Amino acid sequence: MTVSNGSEANGHTTTRRSLPCGIYAPTMTFFDPETEELDIPTIKQHAERLAKAGLAGLVTMGSNGEAIHCTREEKVAVTRATREALDAAGFTTTPIIVGATEGSVKGTIELCKQSEAVGGDYVLLLPPSYFRPQMDEEAIVGYFTAVADESPLPIVLYNYPGAVAGIDMDSDLLIKLAEHPNIVGTKFTCGSTGKLTRVALATNAKTPSSEGSGYMAFGGICDFTVQTLVSGGSGIIAGGANVMPKVCVKVWNLYVEGKTEEAIALQKVLSRGDWFLTKAAIAGTKQAIQSYFGYGGYPRRPLKRLEKARIESIAEGIREAMEIEKSL
């Protein structure tokens, strides 16, 4: 199979940015601590910091971006602000993948179109799950096919069972969906390297050493970066890259450069530190950014704000990784 990595989608020839191999961050969405309104200046500041750290691309309005807490208008505003920030800082070729999942085919297509209008290059889509008993494989295939038929942006599938009532798309289904020319990748937040390996092999996924078909097989957590590379993966989309992007990039680059033992050693440090962020989720990741970079704030309610002792514990837990981050 050959995937058109963004040059054409549903008859629309574009100059869409390609998806390079490497590390991507699902960016946090920042809010005013009092009003909980979007903090656009901080959103832009964060996007610029991540791009300067060497990330291959950004994902707006994913799980870490609290998409579920944002209106459609806010999702569009965040993507627009991110594109503006990247362009203003000189990162005009850095692609943006937009989380554009809505419950219906119609709503998702509309958000895909709006995402394109404000500078999005690709969309990241979860399977529909609200009416879970009715979401069998036929319904899921129907949803993704209908959206892919109409979306002006190519689609990266998002396999994250924890966010969709346990729906876990297996490798057979993902390989079947990959036959659609407008479905160009999968993010494996399920953490299954075996599944990633099978899909990457069947799709001839892009790797640092081979363009392959152009299909992107993304690991979904930075604590299995080396494992993703070993499995024939294309990149990582990981929340930890919001906090320690340079360490994430260094692990990737060491392995690509053939420095396997160094990559594995640094992967262990990254995995140990990332666990503190994973356990503390969005609130903890934001506070880690606050502790080390002076901004971050809080999630929208009903997510709780962390107590001081927990914040200090997270900062201490990632200290080793952050000392390396600051040295790079």
User: Which residues carry out catalysis?
Assistant: 187
Angle ∠(184,185,189) on CA atoms, nearest 5 = 160
Q: 227 near 264, Cβ under 8 Å? A: no
Amino acid sitting at position 287: Q
- What span, in angstroms and rounded, lies between the C-alpha atoms of 225 and 23? 9
- What CA–CA distance (Å, rounded) separates 272 from 268? 6
**Residue of 113, 87, 9, 23 whose CA lies nearest to 59:** 23
The alpha carbons of the chain give a radius of gyration, in whole angstroms, of 18
CA distances in angstroms from 269 to 8, 22, 26, 57, listed in the order given: 40, 19, 21, 23
Q: Return the number of other C-beta atoms located less than 10 Å from residue 54's C-beta.
A: 16
